[in-house]
Every structure is written in C-alpha cells, then in structure tokens.
Amino acid sequence: MLDPQILRNDPEGVARALAARNYELDVPAWRALEEQRKDLQVRMQDLQNRKNQSAKSIGKAKSQGEDIQPLLDAVKQLGDELEQVETEFATVRERQSAWALEMPNLALPEVPVGTSEDDNAEVRRWGEPREFEYEPRDHVALGDAGGLMDAEAAARLAGARFTVLRGALSRLHRALAQFMLDTHTTEHGYTEVYLPYLVNAEAMTGTGQLPKFGDDAFATTDEPPRYLVPTAEVPMTNLAGEQIFDAAELPLRMTSQTPCFRREAGSYGKDTRGMIRQHQFEKVELVQITHPQHSSEALEELTGHAEVILQRLELPYRVMLLCTGDMGFAAAKTYDLEVWLPGQNAYREISSCSVCTDFQSRRMLARFRNPDTGKPELAHTLNGSGLAVGRTLIAVMENYQQRDGSITVPEVLRPYMGGLETIPGPA
C-alpha cells in the first residue's frame, strides 16, 4: 500500500508515477474523497469538543442547583450527531482504503519506463548456449520418450496444466529442490522454514495478492475462505506481519520449498504444452526483511543468490531489469532471470527477484524499532525465486540432453541422485 501522506500531498505526482505502471488514478475523485475525509474529521473534533464542554457544564450546573435536563439533552444530541459523523468518516476511510489497495507500488527511479516485456532492459548474460550437432528436443519430447513425464495421466486425475513425473525424473525434481535449499541455507545465510499451504485473506492482502488478483487464486469453500498459496512469498513474508524487530535483527533471511497453486487466469492458450505454465508447481522461495537503507543492495544480493544456482548447474541465463509496465503489483524494482531453453531456442523466465520497499510492510505492519528515536518504522521486504523447481528441471533436461534422448545429470546434483550420472533415454 502506498504512503497515504504522499497520496494526500501530491496525488498528481502519484498519478503520473502510477500511469507508468499502467494504472490510471482519477485525481479529482481522489481529491474529492480526501476533502470529504478532512471535513468529517474537523466536524468530529468540533462535536467531541462541544460534547466535552457540555459534559463539564453539567457538573457545574448540578452543584449550583440548576436544572440540568437541558444540558443532558444537549449532550445526547451532540453524541447522536457525533456518532453519525463517525459512521460517515469510517465509510469514507473504508472507501479510501479499498481504493488504495488496488494501486500498485511506485517504481524506483532507475526502473525503465515501458508498457510490456519488449521494454525490459538486459543487464548481463552468463554462459554460452550449447551448440548441438542435432535438432535438440524440448522437455516434453524428452519426457515422453523416456516414459518419465505423463501429462495424460495427470489430465485423468486433475485436468489440464498438471504433470505426473516418474522414476529418475521425479527424483531429479526432488534433487534440484534439495540442492537449492542446501545452498541457500548453508552458504547464503537463509533460515529454512516449513509453512502452511493454506492462508487466510489477511495474509494474501498483506503481500498484495488480494484484492486485485483474487481470480488467479484457488480458494476453499470455507467461510471465510482460505487460499492455496500462489507462492511461499505469501506465508513467509507475513511471518514478519504485526511484528516489531530490533534493528540489529535485520536483515531477516528466510527460504522455503512449497508447492504453488495458480489458476493462470488470463493465460488461456499460453504455454499449454509441458510444464512451463502449470496450476501446481514447486518453488524454492527467498525472502528478506531489511532496513530501508539497505534494501537496494539486498536486491542485488538476493538476485546473486538465485544466480549461483544457475551457475552451479552450468545453465546459460540472462538478467533482465523489468520496465514499469511489466513488474509485479507489489514490486518497486525487479530483476528477472531467464534461462536458455534449447528446445524453444529462447530465454525463458526462471526467477523474479523484487524489492517491494515498504509497500507490503505497510499492509501487514512489518516494522523495526529505530534505535535513535525508539519509534517503530516500516521495514522493506524483498522476495525472489531461488529457483522455480519445475522450470529448472526443464532447463536441465533440455541443456543436458544427448542424441539418444538420455539426460546427463549435472555434477552438483549427483550426490542427491545416489551417484546417478545419466537418466536413460528410450529403450
């Protein structure tokens, strides 16, 4: 949620910044609502003061033997008026809050202005795509040929956009997640956490999934509903909600492996083949809670942690700085890591690493105590995939494939695979 003081003091400036995020703020309507709020607040204060003065007069009149009934009637009338104005004020504040919850975060100054992924800026590349002496297969062809990937069985169980993995490929999927967790916890200083896979609406609102993206979430039929996590970012970041940390405790670094559940609303017809875009997938997520002065450098650090995984797996990738129109709702700046997929002859997203400044912490009240003032201040939140396990599996399959359809197991994963060096192709 945006700082309400900025919205009050400079709605035109906020509107210009939000326009770069493809969001149109109706400034006259916002100003009218703000003027209504201020007027009601003044009226409340006036009525409360008058009510207090009248209440004091009752005691004085009573001590002097005067008839206090007119004063009692006046206090009651003022109380009734005050209650009505308080109700109107609460309604206006609710309207403002609901409106503010729909506004995306403001981009940091260094973020390029643009409307789509075509306006993203390439920052750097690592590794060279492998030269094949034959036409490389995509992960679906490789999985089907080895009998280790089965979309038909998944469709019988759950419908489209699900996949069944078998045998060595399923073990490779598990090995990737374990390798990522071990690297982040033993080398990068993250604490591993096990999280609920169902969260309440407050948690979804805290990180920005609600109310704007409710259509993309799977919800239970409970009243109130609970939501299957779209990413571990939701429960993990909310661990800092309604907390006040000592400044010395920051940064907090947490990581978790969870399934992620998404309806993929609006993606009809996109990536229907294979495991690129699924309703259920695994991800190792990284979250940091930092002091505001250190969040920019923390983003570079967190992105580097995700890059280490790709480098250890020797997978070529590029880092893209997303433009204003392509960033996620809560992000102020985002780097996408895009891995090379020979089967598609293209780079595809495998991780998004974002700093959200105080946008999420304002929603969930994640704070730290300033040692100089002793007062609580909003922390900054960051999150990133370290990495998406399914897409990493795809990248390993396609980049390590052999002519006969077998897949070489990357050296760093062999200890997690019982020493297995090759996943056999079709018999």
- Which residues participate in the annotated binding site? 231-233, 262-264, 285, 349-352, 383, 385
Tokens of 231: 């990413």
CB 335 within 8 A of CB 322: yes
Residue type at 87 in one-letter notation: T
Q: Please choose, from the candidates 235, 174, 181, the residue with its C-alpha nearest in 3D space to the C-alpha of residue 390.
A: 174
Tokens of 355: 């700093």
Q: Is 156 a catalytic residue?
A: no
Q: Is 63 a catalytic residue?
A: no
Q: Is 348 a catalytic residue?
A: no
Q: Is 262 a catalytic residue?
A: yes
Q: Is 369 a catalytic residue?
A: no
For helices 27-63 and 69-101, the axis angle rounded to 10 degrees is: 160
Positive or negative, the CA dihedral 196, 197, 201, 203 is: positive
* Spatial distance between the Cα atoms of 260 and 388, rounded to a whole number of angstroms: 10
Catalytic residue among 161, 253, 262, 367: 262
Q: For the purposes of burial, counting CB atoms within 10 Å of the CB of 336, is it exposed (0-12), middle (13-18) or buried (19 or more)?
A: buried
Radius of gyration for the alpha carbons in the chain, expressed in angstroms and rounded: 27
SS3 320: strand
Catalytic residue among 137, 161, 391, 398: 391
Binding positions for ATP = 262-264, 349-352
Catalytic residue among 50, 130, 277, 348: 277
Positive or negative, the CA dihedral 374, 375, 380, 381 is: positive
Determine the length of the chain: 427
Tokens of 399: 């980049």
Catalytic residue among 86, 314, 349, 377: 349
> Mind spelling out the 3-state secondary structure of 11-62?
HHHHHHHHHCCCCCCCHHHHHHHHHHHHHHHHHHHHHHHHHHHHHHHHHHHH
Backbone φ and ψ for 234, nearest 5 degrees, come out as: -65, -60
Binding positions for L-serine = 231-233, 262, 285, 383, 385
Catalytic residue among 256, 352, 354, 361: 352
SS3 147: coil
Q: Concatenate the DSSP letters of all residues of 179-242 into one string.
A: HHHHHHHHTS-PEE----SEE-HHHHHHHT-TTTTGGGS-B-SSSS--EE-SSTHHHHHHTTTT
Other CB atoms within 10 A of residue 131 CB? 6
SS3 285: strand
Catalytic residues: 262, 277, 349, 352, 391
